[in-house]
Structure 1
Amino acid sequence: MANIIITGCSRGIGFELALLFADEGHQVLALSRNAKPILDLSHPNISAFPFDLCKESDLQKLNIFLKEWDTVNLLVNNAGMLLNKPFLETTAQEFREVYKVNVLGVAEIVKIVLPMMPKNGHVVNISSMGGVQGSVKFPGLSAYSSSKGALITLTELWAEEYKETGPCFNVLALGAVQTEMLEEAFPGYQALTTAREMATYIKEFGLTGHRLYNGKLLQVSNSTP
């Protein structure tokens, strides 16, 4: 059984992912700003506490918790901020907030967890089809899609830097998934994929994908977006 950290677990894909791993017997640290939904499960294999990856004090909380674990086998950076707003109406502060969550916060968590990961450990970063060069782009997503493109490049760089010592780094560019975050950004849009379906795929990839992939971007989408 693995020790697994997942961010963005209050709802949607992260919530389903934490539950799937825990039901298989893995030990899961489920991190999100709103920890109540995951704590309400009272699952014996899930640990959780309120966590904002942009706050230094919460990053220190993570450091303290990890003293209870000998190793971290899998890190899934799932937390994200989606902003749908015309570029000229997007403030510099809004741009910074999106990048703090989708890029800088991920980098800070990787810094903390990396020393605890074995050579065969796996870091899975959750990006978006909007961040893939050459993919169809949509107006209003300047901050979000560009930040997800940065995450793709970071993944490739980390895989190269740690290819001799591990862990492996891979990134999944997801298409539209029917989650609360999607509904908030695009009211009325109906995606073809449920959060549970996508979480099931990510679970299997997290546990096995590093055997065949390192530094790779996989496009996980059956639609445009």
Structure 2
Amino acid sequence: MNIVLTGASSGIGFEAALEFTLQTENKVVCIARSADKLRKLLEIAKGINPDCTLLPVEFDIINDDYAALVPFLKERLGTVDILINNAGALINKPFLELSAEDLNQMFQSNVTGHFNMIQNLLPLMHNGSHIVNIGSMGGFQGSVKFPGLAAYSSSKGALHTLTECLAFELADTGIKINCLALGSAQTEMLEQAFPGYQSPVMAFEMGKYVADFARTGHKFFNGKIIPVAVTTP
């Protein structure tokens, strides 16, 4: 399978990338802004499976030039079977202290970047391709909400709605799109949101779940926002 994964340099994205590289036939393009962390990912992946194909790409999904990225992907992959939009950011700040710039940053990181990836990579996708957006329980309708996360949770809610809309727009293409509204997993972002909290779910466990869903979830779901949580948070 040909897989493109954003936010691959840490946390759940890092672990999902390693899960994909266990299968030698997979080609995994790992996108992130940190070249150093991507090199570390490649080193670990090759240590686990020396025959794996992991292509690290230093790229900012908000600001960098897709006119360079897309031809690279077409040359190296041909087509894209799986796109996982995992990149994201979090601001933990009381509502009255939030600025318009904070809100814009959250929507740029958690919505616009994924919008850019989907729009630019669609020409490389085909009937049977699967887009997986990584949302959050914070943006899931009816879920428990937490102080300080208004901007973050609002942006994730927007990503959930984008997922539902695109499922209808892409229905005739055979390309499926779903969103995993993740609960807590032990990552740097969780520590930022809930300092000191220990999640019962490790990053590698959630990464494996995301990879497994990306491989098979489109056979059962389309346009769905799927809550993935056993605790609150």
TM score, norm. by length of structure 1 = 0.95
Any stretches of 5+ residues in structure 2 without a counterpart? 47-51
1:90 Cα deviation from its structure 2 partner: 1.0
Q: Distance in 2 between matches of 1:48 and 1:92?
A: 33
TM-superposed deviation, 1:184 = 2.7
Matches within 5 A, 1:29-68: 29-40=29-40, 41-42=42-43, 43=46, 44-57=52-65, 59-68=66-75
- RMSD value, Cα: 1.2
- Partner residue, 1:172: 180
Indicate the residue corresponding to 2:162 in structure 1. 154
- The verdict on how the C-alpha distance between 1:48 and 1:61 changes in structure 2, with shifts beyond 3 A counting, is farther
Aligned to 2:171, the other structure's residue is in SS state coil
Report the Cα distance in structure 2 between the residues aligned to 1:219 and 1:17, rounded to whole angstroms. 18
Displacement of 1:51 = 1.2
Contiguous gaps of at least 5 residues in structure 1? none
Give the Cα separation in 2 of the matches to 1:113 and 1:150. Answer: 20
Cα displacement string for residues 29-68 of structure 1 (whole angstroms, at most 9, x for unaligned residues):
10011132232334341111211111143x3332231131
2:206 corresponds to 1:207: no
Decide which of 71, 76, 85 is 2:79's aligned counterpart. Answer: 71
Q: C-alpha distance in 1, partners of 2:152/2:140?
A: 12
Asked if the contact 2:74–2:124 (Cα under 8 Å) also holds between the matched residues in 1, the reply is: no
Partner Cα distance (2:143, 2:190) in 1? 19
- Tell whether 2:52 aligns with 1:18: no
- How many aligned positions are there? 223
Deviations 1:131-178 (A, max 9, x none): 011110001111100000000110010001111112100000000111
User: How far 1:80 sits from its partner (Å)?
Assistant: 0.9
Shift of 1:210: 0.4
Using a 3 Å threshold, how does the CA distance of structure 1 residues 56 and 34 change in structure 2: closer, same or farther? closer
Q: Percent identity?
A: 49
Retained in 1: the 8 A contact 2:135–2:159?
A: yes
